[in-house]
Structure 1
Amino acid sequence: MRIKSNLFKSLTILILSTTITFTTFAQSKKINTSLSAMDLAKQMECGWNLGNSLDARDNWSAQSKKFPFNQGVGSEAVWGEEITTKAIIETGIKNGYKTIRLPVTWCNHLVDTNYTIDPKWMARVKEIVDWSIDAGYYVILNEHHSVHDDMSNPLKHCEGYIVHTGDEKESKAFLQAIWKQISETFNDNYDEHLIFETMNEPRNSAHEHCWNPQPKSCKECKADVQLLNELNQLILDTIRASGGNNANRFVMIPGMGTSISTALADYFVLPKDSANDRLLVTVHLYPLDAGGTRNGSHHFNSQTRNEIITNFRLLDKKFSSKGIPVVLGECGASRIGGTVWEGNVQKQITDYVVTYEDRLNCFSFLASQTGKYTMPLLNWDCGGTDYMATIDRKNCKVVEAEYNAAVIKAWQDANKNPAATNSSIEDESISLEHITAWDKTKVSYDEKTKTLNLKGSWQGCDIWLGSKDISEYSNLILKYKATASFTVEVRYADENEGKKSKAASGTKTLKIPLDKSKKVKQILFMSENSASKITFESIVFSIK
């Protein structure tokens, strides 16, 4: 009896062991190592962001919080969005989207000083990832808001990270710790449909150049852009060290601020990778300036069109044409105005509202350019049904279904037939709405009549362009009427003084040759020995 009993126990253990082994094998998914990064990008097509949900956090003041700070799973609703459901997730893919980006903030979910992520929070993130995978999406999982605009200095332990050389030790410790845990949770049970993104809009948030680093003239910026390369390398190494599918998982890499200009800069380099053909570059673009800065064109015009063409042509030249995909991880434009704090007063913003027609024309065109170069395009969705919403999460339906379908179709059509996609630069009119007077007691400008009054000798104003690529343009052409001659100066980036041209009085056309090898910083207008009244008809960057 005893022998028989032991034999039964042995057989039972053997059967259970076999069952457990089989179950583990069944749950494990083998990553497709033969799939190239460009093939992956082609399959990702268009998508949307589950924004303001898993990335939402208490708007803390760094000085008033004790870290580690665990906000709990309730943080998902702290910005007023719907609690995410499986039905919400499925809505996007039922309406033509192939990719979903899941922005996640981790620094508000730590349970100890070893950067341990709250297991309940990790389980909630995993639940939504699994719903997305089961629905058929390609899923982008990232680190989103652990760098923020109210960081303390020096950085507090467990507060997050910042791309600042004085805080690199804490930043590296935080990022390495959270990515180690993310990599352990999301590994062999997830194939190539799960993509990691190292950071979202990384930057030295307290620095004046945080969105536009100037490493040639600023020592701090020079050190910070190098540090970002190190952070990307550290995170990638941490992911790869976890082994399994993560040894070959696709990973998205951002430049400073995840901007196009920083990705194109010489100082941005992709990390060295132990895997082959597994990296993608990620950028963000809000071409109609819907972020509330109130300085954008707000209309889809020749300037916006040409900037889109130039930006994605350059991204293709540096990355896509060499087999490195570029993902437009965020884009969008607001339907209605929002609010902004000016001191202690909250004011309504109305001047960055973008019409349906402008949005349709702009983002259909943007989709055609990204589709041409096989660059996946993802709408930013901040919930609700206004602002930049893609999915009505309360009613589980697409907001503006025809608009979204048109954008998806534009991407697909351009990707199928890139040679037929129009990417020709046109003459570009410069907006005359934002001429800045140096001394308003001596200079005035009427936006309605486009009339500039230079009341005294050597007084002036300028149009700021930042660092505008002019490689496609030969001349700057001014059409105007002036009561007296005046001076026009084209000033190039990294130059304190530019080329000056004399504009004669009368009704005239002035053609100024451009140095196509440089980028234009600003255009200045100055009176000469006497006052001048100038009415502009147009200022155009001309191809011929």
Structure 2
Amino acid sequence: MESNAVQLAAKIKLGINPGNTMEGYCPDNPSEDCWGNPKISAAYIKLIKDTGFDAIRIPVGWDQYADQTTGKISDAWLNRVKEVVQYAVDNGLYVIVNIHWDGGWLERSFHEAVESEAKKEAVNAKQKAYWEQIATHLRDFDEHVMFASANEPDAVDPAKVLVLDSYHQTFVDAVRSTGGRNAYRVLVVQGMRTDIDMTVDMWNNMPTDTVAGRQMMEIHYYPGFFANKGEDDSWGLMHCYWGEGYQSLTDTTRNSTNFWRPEEEAFTDAQFGRMKTKFVDQGIPVVLGEYAAMLRYPKTCADYDLHLASREYFWRYVTKSAVDHGLLPFAWEVGRDEGYLIDRYTPAVHDEQVVDAMIVAAGKALGLSNRPKSWTLDGDATDSSSTAYMRLTLNQADATAAYTFANPVNWSGKTLKVVLNFDQAFISDRNGGMADLLQFYTYSAGSAASEWKCLTSNRELVAGQDTEFTCSAFSIENAVGLGIQFAANTGSVTIKRALIK
């Protein structure tokens, strides 16, 4: 337990939540899979680590597993939570275990607790009882495991903030009272509704503690009607397009600029900057415990390719801004439809576009821009870019697209991944994909050294379908650029994304 909160925060670059699972609330028949996701498996946790995440926030519900008279949490549930935490620790992941919404017994108690001292005392008593049991059961884990007091406590005015102060103090006191490694474990407390403005404006002080420098603050981030608005209603329309250069010129009513205040790049940086000034600069790390952008459908977003590109951009920008401001980003992932990032059954990465964007933004991979004109074409190809992606039209065989690195790349031990999308003309020219398709090349300054690698053929292609190509054969230690040479005589190719990991 040698690391304090600041030192521990420096070890975390990117985290994820397996949402809608262990916090699933079905009091008549409580179970981990009652909201439709499978139980968290060891293989899923290993995938999280192998994909590039170094931390996991595990939302957990406890109340439905507890005796409402005695407050005793089921031993079977305590053991199951411990098992999942062990999966994570075995993979070297840092872990945050919380009391999530949990039926709202804490998160929705503030109005009554302000009006009734008895209600406040009852909530504090449950907070104490639960955390004494949780902390005792998980006491032997090392500093990889942190505890979080709540989720999104609904404290919205000064009187309710005082109640929240008492809940957090009870949490800290309960954990510390269990001794052992819990006497030094890093603990996480939540701002008001985990809202940045409320937290900056109304927060009083961190809870009193028996050990210095062992607490973090937590906030969440779901800006405007782009992030998580689930339907059109009287409040406004769902938004499909976020960020400079990603606003639709045709589907304009669904641009995020239509929100009552701009909540795009500048707003994101300003909000995270406020948390940096208020907490990070004062030695209190900040956990961005949840952030996301819902996946919409073509029936909602008419300019659908642009929506996908914009959503990718949102995940990349918000992740990078968080890291740049010293916040610890934990993506909210629900295993289905609107937030389906990870296929938990296989398990496998489901939405590689978003996951790649986060990995790049966290500094765990080098991302090559997919924006129009970011790749240089030779005379055998012309620029036919869409508003969302770099697209080229081939005029004859051996046309190339080249990308110049901002800084030299050492290829040793690295893998190139490029996702391309071909039209039917290209595929027909290449015998459905069975003929030679493409080859990658890289070069040092002045082409003093160059390599042509990974000539690819015999790939069954489908028009309009993203296809991934990888190459791990490069060895140049100071490459300044990368190229793709295409074998087709005709057709178009869209460069969806490319990264070096």
TM class, shorter-length: 0.5 to 0.7
Q: Does 1:44 align with 2:4?
A: no
Shift of 1:299: 2.4
Q: Does 1:366 align with 2:304?
A: no
Structure 1 letter corresponding to 2:109: I
2:81 to 125, 129, 138: 125
* 2:207 paired residue number: 271
* 2:153 paired residue number: 202
Structure 2 letter corresponding to 1:274: T
Aligned CA distance change for structure 1 residues 108 and 350 (closer, same or farther; 3 Å): farther
Cα displacement string for residues 273-326 of structure 1 (whole angstroms, at most 9, x for unaligned residues): 111111111110123331426546542235311210110111111111122111
Q: Does 1:78 align with 2:34?
A: yes
Structure 1 letter corresponding to 2:177: A
CA distance in 2, matches of 1:282, 1:143: 13
CA distance in 2, matches of 1:243, 1:275: 12
CA RMSD of aligned residues (A): 2.6
* 1:301 paired residue number: 243
Shift of 1:364: 1.2
Instruction: Return the index of the structure with the highest Cα Rg.
Output: 1
Aligned CA distance change for structure 1 residues 57 and 183 (closer, same or farther; 3 Å): same
CA contact (8 A) 1:368 1:413 kept: no
CA distance in 1, matches of 2:107, 2:10: 34
How many residues are matched? Answer: 335
Aligned CA distance change for structure 1 residues 392 and 308 (closer, same or farther; 3 Å): same
Q: Which piece of structure 1 moves more, 93-102 or 405-414?
A: 405-414
* 1:63 paired residue number: none
Cα displacement string for residues 206-234 of structure 1 (whole angstroms, at most 9, x for unaligned residues): xxxxxxx2x3xxxxxx3211100111111
Aligned CA distance change for structure 1 residues 160 and 362 (closer, same or farther; 3 Å): closer
CA contact (8 A) 1:109 1:121 kept: yes
CA distance in 2, matches of 1:50, 1:362: 20
CA contact (8 A) 1:262 1:268 kept: no
Aligned CA distance change for structure 1 residues 337 and 225 (closer, same or farther; 3 Å): farther
2:227 to 289, 293, 309: 289
* 1:458 paired residue number: none
Shift of 1:412: 2.3
Shift of 1:141: 0.2
What stretches of structure 1 move > 6 A for 4+ residues in a row? 348-351
Cα displacement string for residues 482-522 of structure 1 (whole angstroms, at most 9, x for unaligned residues): xxxxxxxxxxxxxxxxxxxxxxxxxxxxxxxxxxxxxxxxx
What are the residue-to-residue correspondences of 1:6-25 with 2, within 5 Å? none
CA contact (8 A) 2:4 2:186 kept: no
Shift of 1:137: 0.5
CA contact (8 A) 1:292 1:349 kept: no
Structure 2 letter corresponding to 1:284: H
TM-score by length of 1: 0.58
Structure 2 letter corresponding to 1:313: G
CA contact (8 A) 2:315 2:357 kept: no
* 1:323 paired residue number: 283
Q: Does 1:280 align with 2:224?
A: no
CA distance in 2, matches of 1:147, 1:271: 25
Q: Does 1:140 align with 2:100?
A: no
Cα displacement string for residues 57-81 of structure 1 (whole angstroms, at most 9, x for unaligned residues): 12xxxxxxxxxx6744xx1111111
Shift of 1:41: 1.4
What are the residue-to-residue correspondences of 1:330-479 with 2, within 5 Å? 330-336=290-296, 355-384=307-336, 386-412=337-363
Cα displacement string for residues 432-474 of structure 1 (whole angstroms, at most 9, x for unaligned residues): xxxxxxxxxxxxxxxxxxxxxxxxxxxxxxxxxxxxxxxxxxx
SS in structure 1 of the partner of residue 192 of structure 2: strand
Structure 1 letter corresponding to 2:136: E
CA contact (8 A) 1:49 1:103 kept: yes
CA distance in 2, matches of 1:291, 1:140: 26
* 1:225 paired residue number: 161
SS in structure 2 of the partner of residue 412 of structure 1: coil
Shift of 1:160: 8.5
CA contact (8 A) 2:13 2:362 kept: yes
CA distance in 2, matches of 1:173, 1:337: 45
* 1:54 paired residue number: 22
Structure 1 letter corresponding to 2:11: Q
Shift of 1:350: 7.5
SS in structure 1 of the partner of residue 146 of structure 2: strand
Aligned CA distance change for structure 1 residues 350 and 409 (closer, same or farther; 3 Å): closer
Q: Does 1:179 align with 2:131?
A: yes
Identity across the alignment (%):
28
Shift of 1:402: 4.2
TM-score by length of 2: 0.63
CA distance in 1, matches of 2:203, 2:57: 27
SS in structure 2 of the partner of residue 376 of structure 1: strand
CA contact (8 A) 2:107 2:154 kept: no
CA contact (8 A) 2:98 2:148 kept: yes
Q: Does 1:115 align with 2:51?
A: no
* 1:192 paired residue number: 143
* 2:187 paired residue number: 251
In structure 1, the gaps of 5 or more residues are 1-30, 59-68, 152-158, 205-212, 216-221, 339-347, 415-544
Shift of 1:355: 2.0
CA distance in 1, matches of 2:199, 2:182: 24
Shift of 1:390: 2.3
CA distance in 2, matches of 1:307, 1:184: 41
CA distance in 1, matches of 2:20, 2:63: 15
Shift of 1:335: 1.1
* 2:274 paired residue number: 314
Structure 1 letter corresponding to 2:193: G
Cα displacement string for residues 227-268 of structure 1 (whole angstroms, at most 9, x for unaligned residues): 001111111111111111111101111012111122212344
CA contact (8 A) 1:380 1:390 kept: no
SS in structure 1 of the partner of residue 322 of structure 2: helix
Q: Which piece of structure 1 moves more, 277-286 or 254-263?
A: 254-263
CA contact (8 A) 1:144 1:200 kept: yes
